[in-house]
Amino acid sequence: MMQSFEDANKVGKEFLDSGLKSFASLSKGLQVISVEATEYSKKAYETGSAVVEKLASAKSLEKAAEIQADYAKQAYESFVTQATRMGELYADIAKDAYKPFESVVAKAK
């Protein structure tokens, strides 16, 4: 009886330690995502503001259409790149958050 209580206590401690490590990893990953999203938003705003200025100074409708088309293409490519990057970051967070539990799960099998 005493041995099983000690084993359960040890497993519980390992699980708690793993949970704390996982939480720290999750917190760090979310900070990275927050910084990444902030930088992307700032860059998108600056790019958009520059396009508005270019549009305001366009001498013809054709030039304005060209500026808008270039901006749309650049904005789309930037979005796809950022979405891919964010997906990779979320996948990394999931992997890192699970790592501390791998040994506990392996022992439970």
Buried b (16+ CB within 10 A) or exposed e, 26-41: eeebeeebeeeeeebe
3-state SS assignment for residue 30: helix
> CA dihedral in degrees (76, 82, 86, 91; nearest 10)?
80
Q: Is the pLDDT of residue 19 over 90?
A: no
For the stretch 27-86, pLDDT in tens is 999 999 999 999 999 999 999 999 999 999 999 999 999 999 999 999 999 999 999 999
What pTM was computed for the model? 0.74
Output DSSP code: residue 59. Answer: S
**pLDDT score at 36:** 96
Query: What tokens appear for 31 in the block?
Result: 């900070």
**pLDDT score at 73:** 97
**pLDDT score at 109:** 62
